[in-house]
Structure formats: structure tokens, C-alpha cells
């Protein structure tokens, strides 16, 4: 469970770090992105891509009911620490997350590792609160979080020990 939580947090953080709430050359503001803009931020030579318009999919009654039911489930809370995440970051799935795009690829094998994933999330968030949460989770799991600049964006790379 800790491994899943750590991976989920790392992926979320990596995704969040690609787009800020300010308009930039590739990213629109929170909630203002279009599918094409989001997909443009992903590498082109990937094996799989997915895109979710979170706000639109939540307008589907069956999906909204399912999300509400799962979020109220005790096992969901124990498994994800969702309320702790909300309290520490201020990010609520149904209110603050607009779009999610991700890509996966099998790359060259280096040091026994050869799969990677990258993602982008368009959302409303407090960068310092989110970064603090991710760093705490990284320390808790003994993982490594590195930072690098790329085309004017700060990328956070997560590596599980």
C-alpha cells in the first residue's frame, strides 16, 4: 500500500508540476486548457496516451455517483489518505482538478529500469503546499525527488528506492 501511495503521489506531483495556474507558452491557466494544449506537452513517441476531462466526466450522473460512493467508503480513505491530502494541499478532486493527460513508453534499459510514464494535470493548487506534501511523502518512503528545469518549467522526478 505504501508503494502505491508513494507512486501515486509522485505521479500526481510530476503531473502537477508541468502546468501552473499562470498562462505560459504551452500551458493555459487552471481550467482553461484545451485537449490539444495538454497533449502537446506529452512526448510524441509513446506507446499509450490517455486524457480525461475531469469536470466533464463528473457531469455524467453514473460517474458522479460512483465517485461520491467511493470517496465516502472507509477503505478508500484508509487506502489513499485522501482527507489528509486535501488538508495538506487544499486540492479537492471534484473542485480543483480539470484535466489529466498521461503517456507511457518502454525506453532503453538502464540499470534494470526501462519503463517510464509522464503526465500533466491542469488544476488549481498552491505550489508550496503541494511541494511540501510531496517532499514529506518522499522522505516517509525513503524515495528520491530531484528537480530540473525544462523549457521554462520545473520538472520533479521521482525515483522509488
Q: What percentage of residues in the chain have a pLDDT greater than 70?
A: 73
DSSP secondary structure string for all residues of 75-112: HHHHHH-HHHHHHHH---HHHHEEEEEEEEEEEEEETT
> Mapping DSSP to helix (H, G, I), strand (E, B) and coil, where does residue 67 land?
helix
pTM: predicted TM-score of the whole model, two decimal places: 0.68
Going from N- to C-terminal start, the domains of the chain cover 2-159
Give me the pLDDT at residue 90, please: 93
Separation CA 146–CA 97 (nearest Å): 24
Q: Provide CB contacts within 8 A for 97, sequence distance 6+.
A: 54, 55, 91, 121, 122, 123
d(CA 110, CA 90): 37
Q: Which range has the top average pLDDT, 16-25, 26-35, 38-47, 88-97?
A: 88-97
Buried-state track 71-82, b at ≥16 Cβ within 10 A, e below 16: eeeeeeeeebbe
Whether pLDDT at 66 is above 70 = yes
Q: How far is CA 24 from the centre of its chain?
A: 19
Q: In Å, what is the CA distance from 29 to each residue of 7, 35, 124, 125?
A: 26, 13, 9, 11
Least confident of 30-44, 46-60, 109-123: 109-123
pLDDT of residue 9: 47
Q: Report in angstroms the alpha-carbon separations of 73 from 12, 81, 82, 89, 119.
A: 22, 12, 11, 21, 27
Look over the chain and give the mean of its residue pLDDT values, rounded to a whole number.
78
Amino acid at each position: 500500500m505504501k508503494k502505491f501511495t508513494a507512486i501515486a503521489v509522485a505521479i500526481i506531483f510530476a503531473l502537477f508540476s508541468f502546468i501552473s495556474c499562470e498562462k505560459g507558452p504551452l500551458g493555459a491557466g487552471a481550467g482553461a486548457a484545451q485537449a490539444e494544449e495538454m497533449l502537446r506537452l506529452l512526448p510524441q513517441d509513446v506507446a499509450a496516451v490517455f486524457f480525461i476531462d475531469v469536470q466533464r466526466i463528473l457531469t455524467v450522473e453514473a460517474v458522479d455517483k460512483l465517485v461520491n460512493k467511493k470517496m465516502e467508503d472507509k477503505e478508500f480513505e484508509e487506502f489513499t489518505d485522501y482527507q489528509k491530502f486535501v488538508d495538506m494541499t487544499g486540492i479537492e478532486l471534484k473542485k480543483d482538478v480539470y484535466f489529466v493527460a498521461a503517456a507511457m513508453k518502454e525506453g532503453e534499459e538502464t540499470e534494470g529500469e526501462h519503463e517510464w510514464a509522464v503526465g500533466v494535470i491542469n488544476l488549481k493548487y498552491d505550489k508550496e503546499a503541494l511541494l511540501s506534501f510531496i517532499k514529506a511523502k518522499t522522505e516517509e518512503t525513503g524515495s528520491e525527488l530531484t528537480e530540473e528545469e525544462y523549457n521554462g518549467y520545473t520538472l520533479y522526478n521521482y525515483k522509488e528506492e
